[in-house]
Chain A
Amino acid sequence: MNEHFTEKESLELIGKMINSAKNNLQKGLGNVFLLWGYLVASISLVIFILLIILPGETSHYSFFLWSLMAIGAPVHIRMIKKMEQQQLVKTYIDRIMDFVWIAFTISIVTVIAGILITTMLVLPSFTEVEPGFEFLRWFPWTFVTPFMLCLYGFALFVSGKAYQFKPLVTGGIICWIATLVLLISFHNPHLLKIQELVLFISVIFGFIIPGHLLRKKENSHV
């Protein structure tokens, strides 16, 4: 590089270099979206099918399949470690996005932990459930999916806007619409099936499609 340059060239250089780090997508981000996308999509689809084919209350045991989500955690940690090793630059956007997704995870864990405590401990131990109100034992769970989808929408929308990646923004909007659909379906006797189906569709648009497109974009940057 030339040591002698004008003040105008100097400003141009600053602008060019600042832009070089902008929108720098972390390599491997697409895989993280695909991991959770395919995991949630498969579990919700299997539960949806089980809810249709299994008789009555027995079908509700299929919800225990959600515990399989735990297998995503060690894979996720390995992927993040690999990403950190490969990451050549860390921008402020990367750091803020890390916190957005950490806050997203903490919010979901908090809600699930709260509902677990109330349905497994508080309600059975301390509350006399009157006949006709037994639904209280499972009803709080029906709020998990709309809450989760609303948070998905939030995190996807923010990520999409921050990285200027439209498929994530679209995915976020679809998740918000899905939340609305679920919240106005509480009267429907098929609410549980609707929830699993809507979750399956939302995850395809919110995680799987953007995940594949992110991978394509990451590879085209190399």
Chain B
Amino acid sequence: MYKELDPLLHSQLRLAVMSILISTEEADFVFIRENTGATAGNLSVQLDKLKEAGYIEITKTFRGKIPRTICKKTPKGIEAFEKYVENLKGYIGVK
């Protein structure tokens, strides 16, 4: 039986963000933007959605005088991602 995929993660950009954060301790906004190819505006909106859902934490800090945004996954985010991948396996027939 197919389980419903988390709509928050079943979106290319948000899934890309979560995949990067799953494999890292933390990642800078610039790194995520460069690797996803997203525009800064769209990425900001999607990051806010993930933050509101409690999947990620966003810390604003400074690199010298330049402001930087650091993103980190939360335990809730890890759980949601693992569940998403598990449900995904059902769709493509992986046991």
Contact = CB atoms under 8 A, between A and B. Distances in A.
Interface string B1-35: 00001000011110110011011111110110011
A10 B28 contact: no
B67 interface: no
A89 interface: yes
A75 B15 CA distance: 41
Q: Is the interface of B mostly helix, strand, loop or mixed?
A: helix
Interface residues of A, number: 26
A85 interface: yes
A85 B64 contact: yes
Contacts of A89: 20, 24, 26-28, 31
Q: Give the interface size class of chain B.
A: 20 to 34
A85 B68 CA distance: 10
Nearest to B12: A1
A20 to B, nearest CB: 4
B41 interface: no
Contacts of A85: 63-64
Interface stretch (A90-98, A142-150, A170-178, A211-219): A90-98
Interface of B: 5, 10-13, 15-16, 19-20, 22-28, 30-31, 34-38, 42, 63-64, 85, 88, 91-92
